[in-house]
Structures are given as C-alpha cells and as structure tokens.
C-alpha cells in the first residue's frame, strides 16, 4: 500500500442481512505518503448538543454568590466549582460561559405566563420563541445542530441522530395550550419540522447498525437471536487479510465495543421481558430501569457513531421538564422537579446543587471515551464540540437568566479549552450558539436573538 498508494475508502461499510456497519478511521484509509493534515485523517468536527432541564442552583441569587456553577475567576486560572468539579480532570478541554440569558423561552404575552416548562426545550437549540398552539401548526426555529447537519452532515449515512432518556411521549396539547412536541425534542430541521428523539437503546442501535437493507431483513435478523456481527463475519475476515497489525487491532477493538453494547441491550431486554417488577413499567423493552445505565448506553452509541462517522451530529435530551424522577446515586431523595422548586431556602438550594453535580458528573464518562478514541491526527475529543446546558436558569421561579452552560472539546483547534468567560448582563445565550456555528464553518450573520460572538 505504501508503494502503490492504494487505500481503503473512508466510506467502507460491512454489509449483511439487515446489517450495515461503518468502520472507524484506519491507517489503511489514509493515502500513502499523504500528510495527515491534508487527508481524511483530520475529519470534520463532530457536534454533540446535550440538554438538562430545570436549570441549576448556581443560577439563583444564593447559588450565584456561593459559586455553585460559575467560577469566581475568569480566564484560565479559574477554580472548578462544586457543581462542575467532576470536569476538572478534563480542564484543558472545558470552556465555561457564564451569565447568558435565553429570553425567547420567556412569556411574551400574558396568555403565555406559567408555560416555561412547555417552551424551554424547543428554545434550547433554536433561540426562537415558540408559537403558542395546541395543534400541528407549531413554529419555532431551526436548531443549531440541524444547521450544521444540513451543511456538513449530508455525506454521512445519517445526517444526525436524536436521543433522549425520558419523553413526554404525547401527541396534541400539553399544559398551558402548548403542543407536546415543544417539550419532546430539542432538534428542529426547520421552524415547522421537529425531529423525534429515540428513547430505546435498541432502536438507536438498529438506527446506526441495522439499516443495511430492508426493515423485513432487519426483523428477520433479530428474530433468529444472532449478533449483528454474525451477519458480516465473512466481510470482516476478508477485510482483515488486507490490514496491517495496528489496523487489525483497531478493527477488533471496535467490533468488541459493538458486540458489548449489543450484549448490554440484550441483557436489559431479557430482564424486562422476564416478568420481574420494573421501575419503569411503561418504558420500551430496551430501556433499563437504571438512569445511569441508560445514559451510558446512549453515550456509548454516540461515541461509536462519531468514531465511524456514521454521523457527525447528535442531540441528546437527558431528561424532560416536570420530571419527578429520583436519582438515588446522587444522594438526593427529593424528586427532580420538586427539588428545583427550593423556595429560596438555602438548604434546599444546596440540595439542588448536589443534584446538578450528579448530572454533570455523568459527562466525564462520555468525554473520556471521546478522548481515549484515536481519530486521525488526534482523538475524538480534539475533533468534537460538545454543548451541555439548560434552557432554564432558576427553576424555582422558571426564569431563563444566567442559564448554566459549558462547552467541551477542541473542535479541530477552534476551541482552546481551560477557559471561563463571564458575559455582560443580558447577553443572549444565542451568542454562544452563533459563535459555535461560526467555529463549525456555518456562515450565518445571526441566530435567534443573537447580538454578536463571544470570545472563546
């Protein structure tokens, strides 16, 4: 290969009955004697947008003074706060942006008062005010993940993926005269086209790896209870003969990861079908009772999708508004939504901060996996931009001021990390989105209610 400059296509896919498995970037995919920076070894930036609902304790007056979320210092010598401390080992990849507001999520008329929970998620990635409607004539804006996917995701098998942990899962109207779809997704392909989010890990797995041929073939494969890898074993064996030792190891590790995720989903489905009592009896068969297990499965699927460039874009909704779920691993016994309604009680605000820290503490699992996954001339975290935040500020009063937000990753050198930026009062959160889009190569003048870029 070195002499002839022959190489495997970056778009190589292993196919079987109802199966389609894209490959990670291998050395054999880089043309011989071609500098990495001028080849497929420096891929386009992956974008992951993650939402957590109900705001943060650090967005309250009490929490702001105690720096539950935002560090006291700006620049690169900041100290990680109580809530963000789990991110400290990844300091050089973290960019914290404080004190931005999401005004389009607020009520713009008396009739809209009190409906913040049913607007917020629709505004998170669109920075646009949703039309109040109970019908199908909903209207909000195109989300930033879809603006990127529409320009830079059309050459991948999937332009984007949308995942969630909890769903409103309702049609028609929710409370306060808003269509339920506003609370069900954070991803909008156009102002009138919401994209459904997948809650079932099995469905997400099939979306990534089971779209090889027809739905009938995929169903037939699942019914015979065989691994997806069994259907492509011949192609794998043939491919490995042409690979060097390092590529064989990388391919083997990748296939092991795919199989391990498949086994975890199978174990969940087997338990849920056993007749044992479930904590989530109405959830799909592939959804585990454990919140952490569910989140980690969805993170693992995103890593595999990014590694293989099955897609470059993901949107992940980690909870739903007015969720009353309890997170025992956090040490907080109060259900999520009631915990956010702290009545300005310092002790209750501290309890909510503890819950915020727990949720943030789930992110390093994802970020470390990205960091430990080789990707051309760096790793996946070098080549990714990850947004984590909430469209709400102080959940007790349902405001959208000082919304909690941070970015992770280097975005192919467009973000330097190890940075805390404090914005002027009333700076739109849309300025973060506009800055992200520009760094991702999307050339637009404004986004939502943006007023300019942020120096990150």
| Residues present in the chain in total | 456
Rounded Cα gap, residues 388 and 409, in angstroms:
11
Residue 3's pLDDT is what? 36
Rounded Cα gap, residues 291 and 300, in angstroms:
14
Say which range, 30-44, 360-374, 434-448, has the weakest mean pLDDT: 30-44
Rounded Cα gap, residues 444 and 456, in angstroms:
18
Q: Which of 94, 80, 81 is nearest to 353 (CA)?
A: 81
Of 207 and 212, the structure prediction assigns the larger pLDDT to 207
Work out the pLDDT band at 214, boundaries 50, 70, 90.
low
Rounded Cα gap, residues 285 and 268, in angstroms:
8
Residue 1's pLDDT is what? 35
Residue 2's pLDDT is what? 37
Rounded Cα gap, residues 337 and 215, in angstroms:
39
Rounded to 10 degrees, the C-alpha dihedral 396/84/129/105 comes to 10
Of 331 and 1, the structure prediction assigns the larger pLDDT to 331
Residue 403's pLDDT is what? 98
Residue 224's pLDDT is what? 52
Q: In terms of C-beta density within 10 A (0-12 exposed, 13-18 middle, 19 or more buried), how is residue 136 classed?
A: exposed
| Both tokens assigned to 361 | 């503490």
Of 254 and 353, the structure prediction assigns the larger pLDDT to 353
Of 38 and 195, the structure prediction assigns the larger pLDDT to 195
For the stretch 161-172, pLDDT in tens is 999 999 766 666
Residue by residue, DSSP assigns 94-127 as: EEEEEEEE-GGGS-SSGGGTT-GGGTHHHHHTT-
Residue 222's pLDDT is what? 56
- Answer whether residue 341 shows pLDDT above 60: yes
For the stretch 292-303, pLDDT in tens is 999 999 999 999
Work out the pLDDT band at 321, boundaries 50, 70, 90.
very high
DSSP state for residue 403 in the 8-state scheme:
B
For the stretch 138-147, pLDDT in tens is 999 999 999 9
Q: Which of 282, 271, 48 is nearest to 167 (CA)?
A: 282
- Answer whether residue 339 shows pLDDT above 70: yes
Rounded Cα gap, residues 110 and 381, in angstroms:
44
Strands 378-379, 374-375: parallel, antiparallel or unpaired by DSSP? antiparallel
With pLDDT > 90 as the criterion, what percentage of the chain qualifies? 77
Work out the pLDDT band at 324, boundaries 50, 70, 90.
very high
Rounded Cα gap, residues 25 and 310, in angstroms:
11
Assess contact for 227 and 284: CB atoms under 8 A. no
Alpha-carbon distances, residue 238 vs 29, 65, 228, 242, 243 (angstroms): 16, 62, 17, 7, 10
Whether this prediction's pTM lies above 0.75 is answered by yes
Radius of gyration of the chain (CA): 22
Residue 48's pLDDT is what? 98
| Both tokens assigned to 300 | 């693992």
Rounded Cα gap, residues 440 and 151, in angstroms:
10
Judged by phi (left if over 0) then psi (alpha if -120 to 50, else beta), residue 193 lies in beta
For the stretch 385-424, pLDDT in tens is 999 999 999 999 999 999 999 999 999 999 999 999 999 9
For the stretch 10-63, pLDDT in tens is 767 777 656 778 888 888 877 655 554 455 556 899 999 999 999 999 999 999
Mean pLDDT for the stretch of residues 333-348? 97
Rounded Cα gap, residues 173 and 196, in angstroms:
16
Rounded Cα gap, residues 72 and 64, in angstroms:
9
Mean pLDDT for the stretch of residues 193-197? 96
Say which range, 209-218, 326-335, 419-428, has the weakest mean pLDDT: 209-218
Work out the pLDDT band at 5, boundaries 50, 70, 90.
very low
| Both tokens assigned to 205 | 């797995």
Residue 37's pLDDT is what? 47
Residue 211's pLDDT is what? 57
Domains, the chain, with CATH or none: 1-42+227-285 (no CATH), 47-199+287-439 (3.40.720)
For the stretch 260-303, pLDDT in tens is 999 999 999 999 999 999 988 889 999 999 999 999 999 999 99
Mean pLDDT for the stretch of residues 202-223? 69
Give the bridge partners for 317, in sequence order. Answer: 51, 164
Assess contact for 96 and 84: CB atoms under 8 A. yes
Across the chain, mean pLDDT equals 90
């Amino acid at each position: 290969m070195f002499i002839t400059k022959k190489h495997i296509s970056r778009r190589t896919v292993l196919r079987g009955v109802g199966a389609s498995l894209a490959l990670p970037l291998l050395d054999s995919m880089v043309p011989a004697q071609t500098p990495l920076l001028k080849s497929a070894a420096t891929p386009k930036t992956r974008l992951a947008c993650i939402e957590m609902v109900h705001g943060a304790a650090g967005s309250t007056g009490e929490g702001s003074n105690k720096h539950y979320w935002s560090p006291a210092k700006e620049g690169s010598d900041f100290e990680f706060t109580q809530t963000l401390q789990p991110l400290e080992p990844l300091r050089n990849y973290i960019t914290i942006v404080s004190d931005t507001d999401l005004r389009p999520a607020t009520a713009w008329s008396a009739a809209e008062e009190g409906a913040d929970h049913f607007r917020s998620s629709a505004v998170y990635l669109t920075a646009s005010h949703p039309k109040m409607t109970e019908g199908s004539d909903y209207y909000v804006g195109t989300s930033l993940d879809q603006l990127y996917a529409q320009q830079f995701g059309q050459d991948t098998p999937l332009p984007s993926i949308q995942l969630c942990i909890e769903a409103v899962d309702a049609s028609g109207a929710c409370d306060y005269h808003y269509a339920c779809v506003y609370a069900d997704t954070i991803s909008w392909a156009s102002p009138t086209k919401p994209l459904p989010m997948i809650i079932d890990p099995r469905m997400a797995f099939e979306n990534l790896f089971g779209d090889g041929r027809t739905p009938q073939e995929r169903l037939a494969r699942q019914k015979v209870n065989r691994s997806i890898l069994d259907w492509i074993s011949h192609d794998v064996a043939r491919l490995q003969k042409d690979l060097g030792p390092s590529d064989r190891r990388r391919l083997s590790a990748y296939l092991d990861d795919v199989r391990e995720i498949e086994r975890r989903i199978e174990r969940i489905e087997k338990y849920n079908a056993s007749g044992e009592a479930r904590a989530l009896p109405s959830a799909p068969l592939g959804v585990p009772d454990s919140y952490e297990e569910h989140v980690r499965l969805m993170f693992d699927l995103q890593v595999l999708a990014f590694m293989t460039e099955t897609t470059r874009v993901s949107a992940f909704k980690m909870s739903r508004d007015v969720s009353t779920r309890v997170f025992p691993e956090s040490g907080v016994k109060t259900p999520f939504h009631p915990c956010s309604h702290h009545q300005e009680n310092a002790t209750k605000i501290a309890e909510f901060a503890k819950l915020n820290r727990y949720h943030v503490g789930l992110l390093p699992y994802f970020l470390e996996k990205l960091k430990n996954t080789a990707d051309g001339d760096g790793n996946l975290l070098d080549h990714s931009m990850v947004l984590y935040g909430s469209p709400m500020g102080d959940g007790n009063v349902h405001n959208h001021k000082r919304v909690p937000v941070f970015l992770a990753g280097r975005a192919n050198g467009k973000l330097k990390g190890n940075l805390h930026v404090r914005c002027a009062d009333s700076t739109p959160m849309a300025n973060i989105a506009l800055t992200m889009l520009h760094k991702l190569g999307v050339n637009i003048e404004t986004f939502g209610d943006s007023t300019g870029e942020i120096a990150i």
